């Protein structure tokens, strides 16, 4: 495939915690500028995969590859790591200091996620959705080449969620590879070039949303992609 640059790959990866098998024989890949969606219910193994790809966990078997340096990775996970007594602006400045990131883009990033007017507000005064948007702003501050997003719109109202989705589209259009987890079928259909459906640590289906629906004689709709998941696993995504 001429011109295709693969930036994320896992091959035959397994992970156990004690006697519990969390991941089994996971193989996946994502290319430059692609939005890759990992879809599955809570506890399916989505966050564990991100933690392995970002070297926060070691697999028990298999191989992984991330085709960029750690400084070129953006990460937004369920534990936001924000400092509650600091303002939005101070949190962003501290992050820039720790990772030696240019601070010039901080105000632009806050404006981009709709927090420009809240820059002097302390994190402990923010709503859950505002905290999530701040964590997103921090993840994109340094214009990463690979961006990992764990349920990026789960706590957002519809308007804010669509705003974040548009930023994700723009980031991917600029060449960043976006790897996101979600259990939101609408989000997956709307955003993702390629998706993998995971249940109980096993990938049960993969392809573009259209390809998956066509393969299972379903139409390209949010409900139909969800129905494919039910057909494959017996589990309903909510």
- What is the pLDDT tens value at each position of the chain, 238 positions in all? 457 899 999 999 999 999 999 999 999 999 999 999 999 988 999 999 999 999 999 999 999 999 999 999 999 987 789 999 999 999 999 999 988 988 999 999 999 999 999 999 999 999 999 999 999 999 999 999 999 999 999 889 999 999 999 999 999 999 999 999 988 888 888 899 999 999 999 999 999 988 888 888 766 555 577 788 888 888 876 6
Task: Report the pLDDT value the prediction gives residue 232, as an integer from 0 to 100.
Answer: 82
CA distance 93 to 77: 19
User: What's the alpha-carbon Rg for the chain, to the nearest Å?
Assistant: 18
Q: Give the rounded distance of the alpha carbon of 86 from its chain centre.
A: 25
Q: Do 224 and 172 form a contact (C-beta atoms < 8 A)? A: no
CA distance 62 to 143: 30
CA distance 140 to 147: 8
Superfamily of domain 1-68+145-238: P-loop containing nucleotide triphosphate hydrolases (3.40.50.300)
Strands 177-182 and 61-66, by their bridges, are unpaired
CA distances from 169 to 17, 36, 172, 178 (A): 35, 12, 5, 9
Which pTM does this prediction carry? 0.91
Q: Do 115 and 134 form a contact (C-beta atoms < 8 A)? A: yes
Per-residue tokens: 101: 């990131």
Domain chopping of the chain, boundaries: 1-68+145-238, 82-143
């Amino acid at each position: 495939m001429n011109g295709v640059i693969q930036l994320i790959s896992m091959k035959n990866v397994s992970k156990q915690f004690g006697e519990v098998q969390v991941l089994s024989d996971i193989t996946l890949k994502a290319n430059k500028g692609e939005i890759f969606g990992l879809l599955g219910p809570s506890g399916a193994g989505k966050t564990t995969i991100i933690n392995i790809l970002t070297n926060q966990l070691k697999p028990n078997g298999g191989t992984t590859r991330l085709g960029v340096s750690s400084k070129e990775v953006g990460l937004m996970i369920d534990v936001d790591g924000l400092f509650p007594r600091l303002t939005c602006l101070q949190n962003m400045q501290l992050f820039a200091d720790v990772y030696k990131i240019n601070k010039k883009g901080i105000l632009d990033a806050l404006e981009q996620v709709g927090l420009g007017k809240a820059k002097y507000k302390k994190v402990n005064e923010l709503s859950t959705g505002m905290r999530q948007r701040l964590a997103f702003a921090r993840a994109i501050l340094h214009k990463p080449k690979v961006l990992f997003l764990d349920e990026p719109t789960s706590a957002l109202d519809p308007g804010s969620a669509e705003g974040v989705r548009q930023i994700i589209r723009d980031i991917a259009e600029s060449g960043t590879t976006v790897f996101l987890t979600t259990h939101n079928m609408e989000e997956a259909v709307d955003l993702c070039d390629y998706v993998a459906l995971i249940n109980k640590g096993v990938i049960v289906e993969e392809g573009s949303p259209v390809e998956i629906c066509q393969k299972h004689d379903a139409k390209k709709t949010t409900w139909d992609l969800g129905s494919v998941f039910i057909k494959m696993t017996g589990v309903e995504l909510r």
